[in-house]
Structure 1
Amino acid sequence: MAPKRAQAAGASAPPAVRAPARPQQPSLFTRGYRFVTSPETSSMVTSLAVFAVAVGVLHSSLAEALVPAYVFQISN
């Protein structure tokens, strides 16, 4: 009689031989979304968003509306 082949611990193996199923780790996007929406980090996320908007506005042409008119008269 030919010897039997050894089977890998896969789905066809008996339950006692099968490796225990590990829960799948969440993806990077999922972990990032959970971090941003967490109540523990809400104040930090809000302050970073306000800072980013402020930098964007001050870097754009809208910042000229914030400069007083007399600054342009003195420099010209």
Structure 2
Amino acid sequence: MPPKRVVQPAGRGREADGIFNIAYKEVTNPENATIVRSVVIFGAAVAFFHSSLSEFLIPP
């Protein structure tokens, strides 16, 4: 009878990636740069229009 082979799981050889590490890698990925930039600009625009600084855009 041949000896049993021990199969290592794929993630055992290196440190397991956490959700924050995976998210950071995806955000900093050059392929996603335009999407990340668009989301940041949209968030800044929403924050500006929600603040009191947006009242300067109203004509007197």
Q: TM-score over 0.5 for the alignment?
A: yes
Matched, 1:59 2:47: no
TM-score (norm 1): 0.62
2:8 aligned partner: 20
Shift of 1:20: 3.0
Greater percentage in helix: 2
* TM-score, with structure 2 as normaliser: 0.77
Kindly indicate whether structure 1 or structure 2 has the higher relative contact order, using CA contacts under 8 Å at least 6 residues apart: 2
Higher-Rg member (1/2): 1
Q: Which blocks of at least 5 consecutive residues in structure 1 are unaligned?
A: 1-15, 70-76
The number of aligned residues is 54
Whichever residue aligns with residue 56 of structure 2, its letter is A
Instruction: Please give the alpha-carbon distance, in whole angstroms, between the structure 2 residues aligned to 1:59 and 1:65.
Output: 12
| Distance in 2 of aligned mates of 1:56 and 1:41 | 23
1:1-53 deviation per Cα after TM superposition (whole angstroms, max 9, x unaligned): xxxxxxxxxxxxxxx87663623320101000001000010000000000000
Moved over 4 A (4+): 16-19
Q: In percent, how many aligned pairs have the same letter? A: 35
Shifted more, 21-30 versus 60-69: the winner is: 21-30
